[in-house]
Amino acid sequence: MDAATQRGPAQAEAQASPHSAVHTQGGLLPLPTQSSLPAITRDELLGLYRQMALIRRVEELAAKAYTQRKILGFCHLYIGQESVAVGAAVATKGDYWMAAYREHGHAMAKGTSARAVMAELYGRRDGASRGLGGSMHIFDREHDFLGGYGIVGAHVPLAAGVAFAAKYRGEGRVALCYFGDGAAHQGAFFEALCLAQLYKLPAVFICENNFYAMGTPLHRQSALADMSLRADGIGMQRDAFEGFDVELVRERVARAADYARAGNGPVMLEIVTYRHRGHSMSDPAKYRPAGELEQYKEESDPLKITLRRLTEDFGVTEAELEALQAGVEAECEDAVAFAEASPIPDPADLYRYTYAPQQTTMGVGEAAPTFTIPALRAQKEG
């Protein structure tokens, strides 16, 4: 039975009624065919490459420190997927981001320093989350990076809420939410998408499909290969593409962000990617078919793809690349040294972050923020 084409009686009835199958008037607007971004320049691409190289190197050093037991607990590395976060960041610099637990790279792509990430992994006072969050809970308010979540799929409703707030205040900002193919089976994910579409929230939901939910390959966890198709049942605009080329990610995410920012409602993206390492540091990833990893590393490594483009199309020299790599190396060494030197959290602070200190007054008759609240729905029904 083809689930996609099955129609229940309610659906048939709805079609017979004056309502269209999708409440949005006239159906969904198509995604733009061209983003608002200017054409990429040599320097910009070099910058994106550097950002990807930096993320990879930080992850490698994190793996090293993990084997030295300097980083503890769960540690999920982003190696192989760097192009997704880095490419998406271009058009969404001033927007809200939220990710799951494989988020070191997302935080850095959004602006968090290698120092803050490494110190957090070390559980130190100068870490992004003051050493309280660790690998899975990197937060950076300064860069509107809203974390790092460890319950698969559970942060997707939060992202809808952030988008809701952006819309409620008429900020013109978008909430980007990253999650994996595993999260696309969670109830929270579906509920969040339903709400986001119902309220036409400015959100971009990005499913980074790396084909493995922990050790379970996609075909054993889903009858659907393209996770973006989930959006169809919700009446949400969607897009799906391979995300190994950072330029492509840059452009396609920008289109989605433009669409959402314009008030057209959320977009779900499936970005196909591949992680080079196991689910976490404790996973040797023996479940992959022989040769698969090698093939992806050879043909689909984001760094290799961009490096080729830089040298072949933009004439970036070997010397330039060496200098860039040296800079990345130095930055990473600095990050590790910074983390090593950062003090462990003060035990006196153990209780400090359990309850936010009360700042709002309980005094009667005192004023509170007021502002103009735009209508939740662009067009009121009926």
Partner 1 sequence: MPELFKMPQATPTMEVGTIAKWRKAEGDALKPQDVVAEVETDKAVMEIEVFDSGVLLKILVEAGVEVPAGQPIAILGKSADEDFSALLASLGGAAPAAPAPAKASPAASTPSAAPTPSPEKGVAAPVARAPEGGLRPFTWAGEAVNSAFMELPTYELGLLEAAAGAAEGPGSGRAAPAARRAARALGIDLDAVHGTGPRGRVLRADVEAAQARPAAAPLPPAPAAPKSEAVKNSNMRKTIARRLTAASQEVPAFYLTAVFDCDALVAFREQLKGAGLAVSYNDILIKGCARALVAVPEVNASWGDEAILRHKAVHVGVAVALPDGLITPVIRDADKKGLSTIAGDMKDLAARARDRKLMPDEYTGSTFSISNLGMMGIEQFTAIINPPEAMILAVGGMQREPVVRADGSLGVGWRMRVTLTCDHRVVDGALGARFLAELRKLIEKPALLAA
Partner 2 sequence: MATLQIREALRRAMVEEMRRDDRIFLMGEEVGHYNGAYKVSQGMLEEFGEQRVIDTPISENGFAGLGVGAAMVGLRPIIEFMTWNFSLVAYDQVINSAAKIYQMSGGQYSAPMVFRGPNGTAENLAAQHSTSVDSLYAHFPGLKVVTYCDAADAYGLLKAALRDDGPVCFLESELTYGMKGEVPDEEHIIPLGQAKVRRAGRDLSLITWGKQVFTCEAAAKQLEADGIDVEVVDLRSLRPLDHQTLFASVAKTRRAVVVHEGHLFAGVGAEIVARLQEALFDVLEAPVLRVTSRDVPQPYASNLEKLVNPDAARVVEAVRKSLGR
Chain residues that interact with partner 2, rule: CB under 8 A: 96, 98, 127-133, 137, 139-141, 146-151, 154-166, 168-169, 175, 187-188, 190-192, 194-195, 198-199, 352-362, 364-371, 373-377, 380
One-letter amino acid at 142 equals: E
Contact 349, 126 (CB under 8 A): no
Q: Does 356 bind partner 1 (CB under 8 A)?
A: no
Partner interacting with residue 328 (select from partner 1, partner 2, none; CB below 5-8 Å by kind): none
* Binding track over 112-131 against partner 1, x by CB under 8 A: --------------------
Looking at residue 342, the DSSP 8-state letter turns out to be: S
Q: How far apart are CA 44 and CA 13, in angstroms?
A: 53
Contact 245, 302 (CB under 8 A): yes
3-state secondary structure of 22: coil
Nearer to partner 1, 351 or 371 (CB): 351
Written as six digits, the tokens of 99 are: 């990710």
Looking at residue 111, the DSSP 8-state letter turns out to be: T
Nearer to partner 1, 153 or 345 (CB): 345
Closest to 164 in 3D by CA, of 133, 204, 211, 203: 203
Least CB distance to partner 2 at residue 266 (A): 12
Q: How far apart are CA 329 and CA 96, in angstroms?
A: 29
Q: Does 347 bind partner 1 (CB under 8 A)?
A: yes
Partner interacting with residue 29 (select from partner 1, partner 2, none; CB below 5-8 Å by kind): none
3-state secondary structure of 337: helix
Partner interacting with residue 7 (select from partner 1, partner 2, none; CB below 5-8 Å by kind): none
Q: How far is CA 92 from the centre of its chain?
A: 11
Least CB distance to partner 1 at residue 131 (A): 16
- Reported as type and span, the H/E element at residue 269 is strand 267-272
Nearer to partner 1, 142 or 346 (CB): 346
Cα–Cα distances in Å, from 200 out to 160, 187, 234, 235, 368?
A: 10, 19, 12, 11, 27
Q: Quick one: which segment of 101-109, 139-147, 344-352, 369-377 binds partner 1 (CB under 8 A)? A: 344-352
Nearer to partner 1, 347 or 365 (CB): 347
Instruction: By CB under 8 A, name the one of 355, 361, 367, 368 that touches partner 1.
Output: 355
Partner interacting with residue 348 (select from partner 2, partner 1, none; CB below 5-8 Å by kind): partner 1
Partner interacting with residue 347 (select from partner 2, partner 1, none; CB below 5-8 Å by kind): partner 1
DSSP per residue over 194-245, as a string?
HHHHHTT--EEEEEEE-SEETTEEHHHH-S-S-GGGGGGGGT-EEEEEE-SS
Least CB distance to partner 2 at residue 348 (A): 14
Q: Does 351 bind partner 1 (CB under 8 A)?
A: yes
Residues at the contact surface with partner 1, assessed by CB under 8 A: 346-348, 350-351, 354-355
